[in-house]
Amino acid sequence: MKYYIGIDIGGTKIAISIADETCNIIDKVKFFTEVEFSDNFAMIISEIHKFQDKYQYKIEAIGISAGGPLDSEKGLFISPPHLPNWHNINIKKRIEDELHIPTFLENDANACALAEYFYGNGRGSSNFAFLTFGTGFGAGLILNGKLYRGSNSQAGEIGHMRISNDGPLCFEKRGCVESFCSGAGISLLHEELTGKRLTTKEIYDKAEIDKDKEAINTVNISSEKLGLTLSILIDILALDRIVIGSIYTRSKGIIEPVMMKKMNEEILEVNRGLCDIRTAYLEENIGDVAALTVAMQKGL
């Protein structure tokens, strides 16, 4: 049996998992992300040593899933906005020098795409996209059965694409996809429309449970923009499946009718019915499985 370590690095917490070759998670630990990289790095190494001491397994590889921008080939954090003191940090080299275990770094959207492709609702697809639709909005792309990173590891930043002349300022660009299809964007959009600042969860609860007209209007605008975004993705890439996480997975019932109507209005007729839209299968565990999949695929 082979064993792997997955490290899911977020702006508020870091989770480290150990799993076997079937991606069965044996143990997991998580802790708050510290301000200084050196403090985080010391904790990561310490916790992996604890796993090694506890289980006495030979670790085949370590996978890291984290927000970008990053260079997955070099294993380098470039300038992640949620980790301001991690700029120009080669975490791959640091860990390999310390532990002598092959280590692989991947953008979190790409890592989630790999996880859903191998273990979730991306199985059986050849041309597939995973859309985060959480705090931010990004895409991980599997094209012709291979992870597509682009020429500089930055492919899939669809959240930055402008789809409107107005809208909330997100991702340093007003009216981009993330302005309408992210937790931060939806909250700002609702405030612009109503003058009321609510969390995205509160907005969806009001729309779904209370049938609040203002909340429904905000959700419908977001859902239309999501449908437009899907039509662009499908027309450009001829995808056969898209899996959407977080907000869509939790609130598909209220999002899907408006989203699909707009998508089918905008998409090329030849592409209607081409792509199957699904919720994330691994939603609760996707961060852990994503990091572990990066280790198991060893930089696919």
pTM of this prediction? 0.91
pLDDT digits (tens, 9 = 90+) for 237-246: 999 999 999 9
Percent of the chain scored above 70 by pLDDT? 99
Once rounded to an integer, what is the mean pLDDT over residues 150-174?
90
- Give the residue among 177, 181, 114, 171 at the shortest CA–CA distance from 141: 114
pLDDT of residue 154: 85
pLDDT band for 107, please (50, 70, 90 cuts): very high
pLDDT digits (tens, 9 = 90+) for 236-272: 999 999 999 999 999 999 999 999 999 999 999 999 9
- Specify the pairing of strand 103-107 against strand 128-131: unpaired
Query: Start-end ranges of CATH 3.30.420.40 in the chain?
Result: 3-112+285-297, 124-280
Task: Assess whether pLDDT exceeds 60 at residue 299.
Answer: no
- Give the residue among 238, 73, 234 at the shortest CA–CA distance from 149: 73
From residue 165, alpha-carbon distances to 4, 160, 177, 227 in Å are 46, 13, 11, 17
Domain 124-280 sits in CATH 3.40.50.300: no
Mean pLDDT of the chain, nearest integer: 94
Once rounded to an integer, what is the mean pLDDT over residues 95-102?
97
Residue 142, token pair as written in the block: 């599997």
Residue with tokens 């699904």: 278
Helices within the chain (DSSP H only): 37-55, 91-99, 108-119, 177-180, 183-194, 200-208, 213-237, 246-266, 286-297
Cα separation of 250 and 256, whole Å?
11
Cα separation of 50 and 111, whole Å?
25
pLDDT digits (tens, 9 = 90+) for 23-77: 999 999 999 998 889 999 999 999 999 999 999 999 999 999 998 889 999 999 9
In the DSSP assignment, the letter for residue 211 is: -
What architecture is the 3-112+285-297 domain classified under in CATH? Answer: 2-Layer Sandwich (3.30)
